Structures are given as C-alpha cells and as structure tokens.
Chains A and B, each alone.
Chain A
Amino acid sequence: MKEGSASPTASPAFAVLRAEAFGVQALRRHDPALAGRPVALLTGAGREFVIAERSPEATGIRPGDPAALALARCPGLCLGERNVEAEVEAQRLLLAAALALSPRVEATAPGMCTVDLQGADAAATDTALRRRLAELARAGLEVRAGLAASPLVAAYAARRADATNPVLVVTDPATFLAPLPLAWAEPAPACAELLEHWGIRTLGELTALPKADLANRLGTAGVALWERSAGQGVRVLRLAEPSRTFAAEWSYEPPVESLPPLLFRLRRYAERVAFELSAAHCVADGLALTLFLEDGAEHRREFRLPEPCGQPDRWMRVLQAHLDTVRTAARVRAARLVASPARPPQVQDGLFDTGLQDAPAFWDNLARIAAIVGDERVGTPEPGDSPRPESFRLRPPAEAIPPPAPAPVHAARGPVLRRFRPARPVCVACAGRRPVRIEGSGWQAAVRDARGPWRASGEWWKPRAWAAETWHVELAAGGLYQLARAGLAWRVEGLLD
C-alpha cells in the first residue's frame, strides 16, 4: 500500500523492518505457554513496576500502568520481565531476514533493522520483502515494513503499517507525517511533558510551530525534535556484520525432561540459524546437536544431511527422529545446534568442510571447559561463607596471582582432620549426651575422652534445613576421631592427627 500522493516521486531508498512489542514477541517465541494469552512486560523496580509493553490480547491496559493495576484490569494477564536471551535471538532472526534483502543493513534498535535499498529493483524488493515477512511470521515474529526515501520516514512507516497492510510505502512524506503521534519522534521526557501541556500531539502540530520560537523555548533539543518531526535529517547507517557462524546455544530454565519443550526451543533456534544461512546464501550440509544435562554429562550427535538444505522443517525431521530415541539420565539444561554451511546443492561440496571449521574463532581452552561443565563449575575452591561443615564455593579463576593473605592473628592450632569420604556410620552409646562407646564400620571401642558438642545449624528457611553436632573422641583402643550426629544417626567423619 502506498501512502501520500498518488504520484510516486522516486523509488524508496530505505526499508525498515520493525516488530511491534518486540520484547513480548521475543518472550513468546521462547515460551510456548504464553501463546494466545495476554502478556505484558514490566519495567522499573519494587513499587515502581509499570507496564512497558503488552501483547494485543492484553486489553484495557497501557504502558505506564502500575503492575497491580494492570492485573486488576486484565484478568489472566501474564506479567514478565524482558528476556535478554530471547530478544538477542529474535534480533538475530530479524537481522538475518534484513540481510537477505540487501547486504547494507543496520541493526537500528531492538526489534528494528534499517535496510539500504539504493540501487535495488523495487518490484523484486517488494516480492522478497513480503516473502521474508511471511517467513518471519512463521518463525513467530510479526514484522511490519516501511519504505521511504529516508531511514527516519521509513521507520515511521514501519510503525504505521499494520496487519492488513504490513508493507507501507511513503511517497509523500509531508502528508504522511502530519497525523503521526508526536511520541514517535521520541521527544525527551521533559520536552514531551511540556509539549503535552501545549496540546501538541502530532508531528504535524509540532512542525506547524515556528521553528525559531521552538528553539527559543526548547533549545537545540527542540530543533532536533522539530526536524525529526518533519522527517528531516540524513544519517549514515551503521552497518551490521552478517553472521559468519551458524550456531545457536541456549539454556532451559528450569531444565526440561520431556521432548515437546525441548523441540519447541530447538525449532526456534534452528529457524534463526536457517535465516542466517540463507542471508549468507548458504545451506547446511550437516548439523551438530549437543544436549547439556543437569548432571554435568552431555549428549552430542552429528548429522550429515542427506542433501544440503536450508529449510528448518527438514532439519527438524532429522533431529526429532533422533531425539525420539534418546533417553538421558538427567534433565536437559542447555543445548547447542551448529550447522555446517555449504553452498546450495548446485555447488559441489568442499572436500575438507567440517562442522568445526570455525571453532578457533570462539573456542579457547577455558571456554571449552566452561561450556562442558558450566561456568559455575570452573574455579578455585575456597571455604564457604557459612558455618555448615564442608561448605565451599568456587572462586572464578583469577586473572593474576593474588598477593599472599596476611598471616592470621591466631594461627590454627590443634589436630588436622583427615576426612573419610564417605563418612562411616557407627552406633554410639551415650551417657547423657556424651558418647561413651562406638561400634560399627570396623570400630568396637569405648570412648576414653570426648570433647564437645559443637553445634551448627542453618538455612531454616529452605525446605532442607541442616543441623550438625560434632564431637572429638579419643578411643580407648587408641586414635582420635571426629564424630558427627544428625538426628539419631552417628558417623565418624575423620581421623584427627
């Protein structure tokens, strides 16, 4: 659809692809449970939580409404926060779609890409654009496009486009811009408040004000706003680099234990990888899938596709066929999909292509280990900040060797504990609370002397609170041991030297 005068002045030089309520769309691509439900994203903190974005189903609420009020006004509303991982993924998808139109693309903002179409054939572009929008919609991202002579006007047009007219071409900017809401020109908050008081609500109303008078009142910010409202201003696109790797890695929180949620996200990432391959005019001839399990293990499988292709549906058939047969010992907490790029089938396969050809670009030794066991499992153990026995935490590897700690005021004295792993269960006879005899796990001896108890307990707020009582005992048969009691059960924890 064209907006403005009936006689086009020139071919649009720029296209903007824009996803409305991008955060919500990205979140929904990530979570199948949100499909069809009213969803809103929150911003702020504490008492200041307000609605930032909402899905079309979330009727009766507006951005800026307090969260509690939104819940009252929209029963069944699902509130969430921005999911950065989901947004990055959706942005890569959008960028790949834009790169399929032209190599000169800018990732302008989250959910928005600007494409430089100068020199492109208008008819071919329109066809390609509509095909890409349809593919994006199938991948869970509803995107509109605006075409105009400048990036700014194209962005307004993309925002103005709707489901019935997903591609809007602006041929007469002045007519097109006049009724648009002033907020689209993104005035600074103080400026916006003042203009609201002035009753200025559209770009046309603002540009009707004398520019010089506006400058007197709002300064340079006002002038810039006036120019944005008039669709003026030229800027150079900051071009995005197309992806050179065709991989996706994602995590499941909470970890998944059944196939449907695993496949849902796998498909989403496969779609993005396929878009990136397509933008690079490639297809995949092989796939590598790695599942990272909760117990630290991983399941890895490489697939050689029968025929190189770039269609995620066909990839999914291969992947699902395999996953249907897989049984893992623990839940899947993360997954990685790598596609090995190849020229489309008419191009002969490279003899030395492998799925790991780009590995040096993003693997180094430490990252490799971290990727296998998880970042939180790499580091140096040190005593934990808890009185719980054997409590420890992992300090991330230091970039430099730290200076030696000062000597303690009171040097550790007394015997050293050699822990038995695991601790050995024993039966203990007591006089009062004091152990007098131990039996079991190879011991059968009276206690000559006992010191203690020392008690520690904690984490009462968790389902598994802990409590420990320890004693140091000297056996009549010789030997100094550390005894621990938990409830009625006793264990010898180690030998004291």
Chain B
Amino acid sequence: MNHPMYVELHARSAFSFLRGASSPEDLIAACARLGLPAIALCDRDGVYGAVRLHKAGEAAGVRALVGCELTMEDGGILPVLVASREGYRALGHLLTTAHLRTAKGASRVAWSELAPASDGLIALTGDEAGPLRRAWRERGGDAAAAAGERLLGLFGPDRLYVELQRHLLPGEEAENRFLVAWARARDLPLLATNGVLHAGPSGRRVADVFTCLRHHTTLDAAGRRLAANGERHLKGARAMAALFADLPEAVANTGRLAERLRFTLGDLGYHFPDYRVEPGETQAGRLRQRAEAGARARYGRAAAAAQPQIERELELIARLGFSGYFLIVEDICAFAKSRGILVQGRGSAANSVICYVLGITAVDPIAHRLLFERFLSEGRKSWPDIDLDLPSGERRETVIQEVYRRYGRRGAAMTANVITFQDRSAVREVGKVLGLSDDLLDRCSRLVGSRDDPSPRALGERLRAAGVVGDQPRLGALLDVCRRLHGLPRHLGQHSGGMVLSAEPLDHFVPLENARMPGRSVLQWDKDDCEDMGIIKVDLLGLGMMAVLQESIELCAQRGEPVDLAHLPPADPATFELIRAADTVGVFQIESRAQMATLPRLRPENFYDLAIEVAIIRPGPIQGEAVNPYLERRAGRQPVTYPDERARPILERTLGVVLFQEQILRLAMELGRFSPEEADELRRAIGFKRTDARLRRMEVKLARAFRDNGVTEAATDYLIRSLASFSLYGFPESHAISFALLVYASAWLKVHRSAVFYAALLNCQPMGFYSAATLVQDARRRGLTVRPVCVVASGAPCTVEGSDAIRLGLLSVRGVRAEAARAAVAARGERAFAHLEDFLARTAFTPGERRALAEAGALNALAGHRRAALWHVAVAAADDDLFRRAAAEGVTGPGNAGAPPAAPLTAMTPWERLQADYATLALTTGAHPMKWLRPHLPGLVPAAELGRLRSGLRVRIGGTVITRQRPGTAKGVCFVTLEDETGHANAIVRPALFERFRSVITLEPALVITGRLQSRDGVTHVIAESVAALGGTEMPVTSSHDFR
C-alpha cells in the first residue's frame, strides 16, 4: 500500500537549548533513514541550528526547511515556517527585535509585531504550548477558539494550519477533536506533526535530563514535567499515516505545505558592505591606488620587483569582487593606527602582498616565498579570511566599538561560539539531575579532565575512582546520558573576536541577540556556519603579547629610549642566544614547557627557524610525527629525504618534513594535480573542526590523486598521515611567520629592554603561560631588582626605575581599584604625602583597599612596617571621614598633621611577610618560598643543579607547581614543572603513576618528586617514580598553568 508523503514540519533540535535532544545532523540522518524528503527545524526563538541542518541536508539529499518557535509576549509558543526570502527576513527582524529588547537568553515577540511581519511566514497552531491548545487546557473551548481567531486574523486562511499531534497519551483525543472541529468550522487545513524533540526513541533520556536542567530539578522530583513516553521522535510516513488513519488529509497536507516552503538557506543573498568611494571611482581603482602607495612605502626602490605579484593579486581580487573587503579591513587598521593601537594581520592574510603593502600584515610574503593561493585563489568559493591581532583589553574594545559605530547595531555583530556539553560539565549536570550528592559530583568533575578518554568505559573508571562505586544503581544511566550529551549545545557564547559586517541589516540573514558583555551583539550562528553561508567575518582578536609590546613601546618612549618594532636589528646574536638557551619565560609562543624543551634541540639561528619553532610544537606536527624527524635531520643525525623527488622544492626548507598547511596544499597541487578549487576545498576541510567527515572524504580523494600521479604507496601514506594530523591543529606558514615576528620582538625586548619588558608583562596579567609570581622570580634571576609596592614611589601600573629595577604598581595589590590608584598617584603628584594621616586624608581608598595596601607593605614608607600600617589604617577605617579630615586639615593644618603614635604591634617576620605578599600580590619581591624551606628539606636537588648531574641518577626535586600539562598528544603523560629559588625543574609523570597520584598532583600547590634524571641535548627532565605533597608547612598557594 502506498502511503502519502510525510514531512515533519515541527522538529526541534538541541539548538532549542535544553529542549530538543538531537543535533540537526542526527535529525537529517534519521530523515534519510526513514525516507522523509524534507524536515522543518523550528528551534525555540532562533535559527541556531538552521545552517547545520542545511549542510547536512544537502549532503544527505534531505530538504532543510526553516522555521522557528516564537515565544510570544503572553508566554504562548507559536511555530512559524518560512515560505520565502521575504518571510525569512521578516523572521530575522522579528527575532532580533524580540531578543535585543530583553536580557540575554530571553525573547518575547509582541502580537502587534506579527501583523506586518507575517508575509512569507506560515503559522501552525502549535503543540500543547501553542496558543490554541494552551487556551483550551487552561480556559476551555471558547478561549481556544478566540486564540484561533486571532491567528486567523494575522495570517489568513491560506497561511494558518491547524496542527494535530498524537503521542499515544490518554486524553489527547479530546483536544484533537476540538481542533478538528474548529478547523472544519473555519475551513482551515489540518496538519499532522509529531512535535519532534529527538531523532530516535532513545533520545527521550536526554530530553528528560534537559527538562530537569531547565526546571532546576532532579529526575526523581520532576514528576509530570518529564515526557510521559518516548513518542516524540521522528516517524516515517507509514507510522504517521497509521497514527492519523482517520484523518489522512492531515498527513497529506504536510507534503503540500512543504512544497509551498520554497525558501532554503541557499537563497540567503548576503552581501559584504561596499567601501564608499568618490563618484566616478571604483573600489578596484581605489585599492590599486592604495596598494601602489603602500608598495612604495614598504619596498621603496625595490617596489618594481614586487610589482608582478601585486598586479597578479590586484587582478584576482578585482575579478572576484573582493576589493571593498580589503579596503574595509585596511580602514579598520588605519583607525587602530590613528589611535596608536598596534595592529597586525595574522593567519593566511600574511600570504598576500596586497595585505602587506596596505599595512594589514607585517610579513613580506615575497621575501618569505609564501603561497598566495593559501589565502586566495581562482577557485575559491568563499571570502578570504583576514584576522587582525590587537592588544587585548580596552584598546581592542575601542576598535570593536568603532566598527559598531560605523556599521550600526544591526550592521555588525560578533559571531557566536556554541558552548557544548563536554565530559566534565556533562557529568556534573547529569549527576545533579540524577540526584547524586554535591560532594561526589565535585570530586567527579575535578577528576574528569578535558584531555581524558571520553569513552563511557574510561569515564566509568574515573567515576569509580571518585567514589561512585561500581554498583551505584545510577552509574549506567549517568554514563549513557553523558555519552549522548557529549558535544550537544549547552548555550550560546561569543566568539573571541569574529565580527561580521553587512551592507544590509544583518538580521536579514541571521538574527542577532544581546551578548552578555554590554555594548555587544552576537549572531545566532558560529564562525563555521557563517563561512558555510558565505558570510564574511573579520577577526579582531585580542592578543596579550600585543598589549605587552604596546605597553613596552610606551614605557620605552617615556624613558627616552624609543623602540620601533618594525625596525628592530635583525638576527640579533644576544636575542638568539637567549632563545637557544630556552631562557624564554615571558616570550611570546615559545615560553611553554614543550617549546622550552625543544629550543635547545632546534637551536634557532635565524628568523625562519623561529617560524619553524612556533609551528612545530603544535598538535598537528606532533601527531604527524614530524617533530623528531625534523630535529634529528637538523642535528645531522638523520639524512634528509623526501617522500617524492617532486616534493623537494616544497619541503626543502623544512628538511623533507611536512610542517605547514601550505605545504600540504602545494603537495596536493603538485603531486596530486589538484585544481585551485580542489585545493581550496582541502584547505576548508583541514580547518573544519566540527566533524572529521569532510576531511576523511578529502583524504580518500587526495590519496587516489597521489597514486594516480605515481606517488609511491609509502609516500602517499606519509602525506595522508600528515594531512590527518593537520586537522588536529597545524599552523599555516604565513601565520607562523607572523607570530615569529612577535616572538623575535618579545625576545629582543627581554634581552635589551628587560626591565621595561617585565614591567609590561606584569601590567598585562593575566596572560601567557606563567603567573606574575613566576615572572618576578625570573626577572630576579636575570639580575633585575623588583621593588615592592610603595605609595610614595609606585605608579598605578608597574614602572621602571633606573636601568634595571621594576617598581610594582599600586594595581598589583589585589582588590585595589584603578580609579582609586590613579587618583592617589595624582594626589601625590600635587604634593608628596607627608605622613600616613596625610595619605589617608588625600586618597579615596576604601577600608579594604587600605588594609590590602598596608598588608602588602605599600604603606611602610609612611608607617614603618606593615603591622604598624595595619594598626593605623584600622582606626581610620573606623572613623567618620568628615571628622578625620577635620582633624587632619582643620586642627593641624592641611598636610601638617602629626605622625601617628607608635603602634603596639610587632613587625612581621620574613615568613609572615612572604605569606602577606602572596595573599595581597600573588607574588613576592623577596626570595622564593623554597629558599626559606630548603634547610628543612634535606636531599632536595635545586633546579639549577639538575643540568650538571649525570643522566640516570635518582634525584628528589621539590617546589611550587607552576604548570601541570597533559596534552592530548601525550597519551596520558602528565608534565609537571616545579619552581624553586634557582629556577624550574621539569618532571614527566607516566600515565599509571599519574592515575595513582592524580589527586596529589592535581590538588597540591607544592610537590616533592622523586625519579630518574634524563638529560639529552641540553634538555633535562625527571622521570617521576613517586610524587608527594610538599607538606608540613604553610606553603603559599600560587596560581599554576594547568591542563590548558
């Protein structure tokens, strides 16, 4: 028997956030399995999952229709379907208006807004939360009919369908009978839907858990809020026909309505804004003019040599219609520069000479022989991606707000970042819903690491270790739901810097909503969705090191030693010596423990080596097993070979090893004869993080192409392995070179402007790999003096005194407000503080700030010692300000009040001062705590001595933990770095030992590690054999860089 076509027109995905329980991709897969030709996604208050549905639908041959459930002002939920592009635009406008006027996460559409927006939209009467059924349940048939009349008035009889659902629940037929009778009375079409919440029956578990999360309750207490059964899954035409055997037209109408819904996201019609030019001028002409001027400035007399490449790029950019894009990005850079804000393009844009001459990037692609096609090519379907690095913090926000100002609140927005359930969050939330105790969940989530094996079995083992015993009756449910939850969206965040601009209001293409940050709006799509839809973003990224460089430049200028980063002496020997010695704490990108362990082996000698150093310690090359071959070849211990002789020109600079994405693309074009279009497809597959299906398809295609072109089986295997590893994150060469500029600049500053560099680093915290405490200890080891905070000498930020002394700023003290610190410095500028009373009278610090300043020793110059200061500020805090000021100014004259009487408190001991330093500053300008403890810890080898000991010796090291790393590429090995008064000691903890001492390693602030010393090529580690807490003392708790 033939069944009528059925299309599910009311499905929700997990992008309804804690409602739908399946991803759009799973819904499409279920449609394909069930033979449904189309599906409409009606997520709550948005089209968050529409692009994913569209892309998955394209691949599976299922038509993805766009819809949405609108939350109305009275709380009713109205499902609407998009029939045309006009309808889509109206929906975007409705949603944007509804979101922007409410707090993040909320949306309310006014009934009055529907009338002008309803063209191109088709309404359904909805499910139990819909206007009709809700009214019927709460107020009876007359109220429901009235609600229906309102919908009829808004949408008319041709754009309103009466929705029927059957979930095999007692009592539902009474509602359906009413709906059928009302529809027949008004001559409206019936429409069968299943109100889908999950792709298959088993998705009901996730839906129930979501219900509990939404209602902040547990499964045991949720009662009737949970689904009564598991029928809200996608059903095929046969099942739906059987369900509605008595109302066949309701099923048949789904196919008819689906045919009316002509709009898909393929018809989006997005345009990047044009750059405004003078009448008679073209954007391409303006770009040429700007490029030629830039070339003269960049290359001077050598501009002619660059001209062919400039011409080639200009011609291609003009032909692809991207001229305006380059001009707009240049405009943003120009704005930043006009405000004195450092800006530098990163990523593949550095492959373009046009970007270089326009001042967008700082890397000369001709000099570095960079591949322009990695950035832009003939076959490229999508827009090029230009990412700009800006100093993090206020300066970056200045640029972002300028973009908003220029393009309007609806013409620019940040791209979204979809926060998904990961193991740790899933265990915590599901455990809570299952009623597991808080302390147990706390232990679980502390022990579930982001790098742990996510399989249910491994998770189960970990939970057992946390005290969820094996026979815990709910462990099975916990593991099962966590597995299903993994990767589903939890809520919408904001991308770190991706901004989308549009010629038309952006909500014509995708709705906007408020970000949590004031003054920001965010799209409902993430960056991959935007790229898939051809929407261009410009990344305005905040980079801590850019802020450090900016700060350093300003400090140097203030000190009369101006530094021009663009004209630093190239190949400075002292700088490279520092880098080769791995003395790189604070240096951009090469300060991590893994980088420091590689530097003595790689021994960089020139700028390009820095780019290799930056690129080589990434998951891509590590997983692709490129690191050791490269280092061995570089050291001459292994011959340089090539997988194929034709690859020699491409891989020569990296000694036959694939290190950069460009190399993969060039190999694909040279050895696999990929067209530019195919190479671009490959590039996108490498960069696509959401699933690896795209990459797998490209791997198969490329392997076939290699073999067809005579590449040997072994070489093909190697190259495909390299490709696979790049999906795990590898750098483009241009990006590595852009970063290498910052590496060199920061290392140069560390060598030649040490005090300024460390002061800037401290002012820009938190950033980088190490805490302020570690930076200060490193500065001290380099011979710098770090002076304590002092209200008569410190500025608000850290400053430089003399040639080699850093003075901590008032803002180094925890809890001190910037405005109060600046005001104090200004008051001191007017007249020096005569004594403590004078200071208290003329500054606006709160009692808490005064206590913190006193405890940090910042008032010592006025009070003698910290406790005396604490004693005196305590009485001031208790006083009424008015009387205190009167006493200070009226009785004894302004600024002439007598010094306070001596305090009856004794001064702090050195150890107490150390504790107070860490409590108030999170660092100490004095000796490292280990210096005080060492006499009590016999047998510990100082870090600085490890390099002088014989490899294989058993040693004990101890110190504060400054890093705990367990990278995914290390197969469970944990790397721990301990800091003592002499430097850093690195330990390697193998997986079995890590599991044994997991709690101690992850929770203790200071450790003693015993193990065998391993030294090679100047790199020293301790292979841990046992780990213990460095207990028995009040070791100050310091921050550490853990598992990131």
Contacts and interface: CB of A to CB of B under 8 A. Distances in A.
A362 interface: no
A398 interface: no
Nearest to B478: A461
Given A194-B851, A209-B904, A71 B443 contact: yes
Given A217-B875, A460-B477, A463-B473, 8 more contacts: A79-B439, A194-B851, A197-B851, A217-B874, A386-B223, A387-B228, A387-B229, A455-B229
A51 B199 CA distance: 46
A454 interface: yes
A199 B442 contact: no
Contacts of A326: none
A73 interface: yes
Contacts of B1000: 72-73
Given A198-B867, A454-B169, A68 B999 contact: yes
Nearest to A69: B1003
Interface in B421-447: 434, 438-439, 441-443, 446
B3 interface: no
Contacts of A209: 904
A47 B442 contact: yes
Nearest to B223: A385
A409 interface: yes
A216 B878 contact: yes
- Listed from nearest, the 9 A-B pairs whose CB atoms lie closest are A385-B223, A72-B999, A387-B228, A461-B477, A46-B438, A217-B874, A455-B168, A455-B229, A49-B439
Interface string A51-76: 00000000010000011110111000
Contacts of B1003: 66, 68-69, 72
Interface string A449-465: 00011111111111100
A188 B138 CA distance: 54
Bin the interface of chain B by size.
35 or more
Contacts of B912: 199
A459 B1031 CA distance: 47
Nearest to B446: A68
Contacts of B338: none
A208 interface: yes
A197 B174 contact: no
A218 B231 CA distance: 66
B399 interface: no
A67 B138 contact: no
A148 B332 CA distance: 80
A213 interface: yes
6 contacts: A71-B999, A198-B867, A387-B169, A409-B139, A410-B174, A455-B231
Nearest to B442: A47
- Judged by DSSP, the binding face of A is mixed
Interface in B396-434: 434
A213 B904 contact: yes
B1029 A72 contact: yes
A387 B224 contact: yes
Contacts of A68: 442-443, 446, 999, 1003
Nearest to A71: B999
B168 A453 contact: yes
Given A387-B224, A410-B140, A199 B867 contact: yes
Contacts of B1029: 60, 72-73
A143 to B, nearest CB: 30
A217 B1000 CA distance: 42
A457 B230 contact: yes
A362 B815 CA distance: 57
Contacts of B1031: 60, 73
A180 B999 CA distance: 35
A210 interface: yes
Interface of B: 137-140, 168-170, 174, 204-205, 208, 219, 223-224, 226, 228-231, 434, 438-439, 441-443, 446, 473-474, 477, 851, 855, 867, 870-871, 874-875, 877-878, 904-906, 908, 912, 916, 999-1000, 1002-1004, 1029, 1031
A185 to B, nearest CB: 18
Nearest to A47: B442
Interface string A394-422: 00000000000000011001000000000
Contacts of B231: 455
Given A72-B1003, A208-B904, A455-B231, A197 B446 contact: no
B904 A210 contact: yes
Nearest to B175: A410
B442 A67 contact: yes
A42 B870 contact: no
A54 to B, nearest CB: 15
A454 B170 contact: yes
A219 interface: yes
B203 to A, nearest CB: 12
A194 B204 CA distance: 55
A219 B878 contact: yes
A69 B204 CA distance: 38
Q: Interface centre among B168, B867, B912, by most A CB within 10 Å?
A: B168
A84 to B, nearest CB: 17
A427 to B, nearest CB: 23
Interface in A5-51: 42, 45-47, 49
Interface in A193-225: 194, 197-200, 208-210, 213, 216-219
B170 A409 contact: no
Contact of A49 (B438, B878, B906, B999): B438
B1005 to A, nearest CB: 9
B919 to A, nearest CB: 9
A174 to B, nearest CB: 19
A213 B229 CA distance: 72
A385 B224 contact: yes
Contact of B229 (A385, A410, A457): A457
Contact of A458 (B169, B228, B874): B228
Contacts of B139: 409
A459 B228 CA distance: 10
Contacts of A208: 904
A197 B139 CA distance: 65
B434 A461 contact: yes
Contacts of A217: 871, 874-875, 877-878
A83 to B, nearest CB: 15
Contact of B474 (A73, A219, A461, A470): A461
B543 to A, nearest CB: 32
B842 to A, nearest CB: 22
Given A209-B904, A210-B904, A462 B223 contact: no
Contacts of A197: 851, 855, 867, 870, 916
A468 to B, nearest CB: 9
Given A198-B870, A386-B223, A67 B905 contact: no
Contacts of B446: 68
Nearest to A468: B229
A209 B905 CA distance: 8
A49 B438 CA distance: 9
Contacts of A454: 168-170
Contacts of A210: 904
A426 B764 CA distance: 78
A458 B204 CA distance: 10
B466 to A, nearest CB: 9
A154 B230 CA distance: 67
Nearest to A464: B473
A45 B438 contact: yes
A210 B434 CA distance: 57
B22 to A, nearest CB: 17
B78 to A, nearest CB: 21
A486 B875 CA distance: 77
Contacts of B205: 460-461
Most buried by B among A45, A47, A470: A47
B363 to A, nearest CB: 46
Nearest to B1031: A60
Interface in A63-112: 66-69, 71-73, 79
Contact of A456 (B229, B875, B877, B908): B229
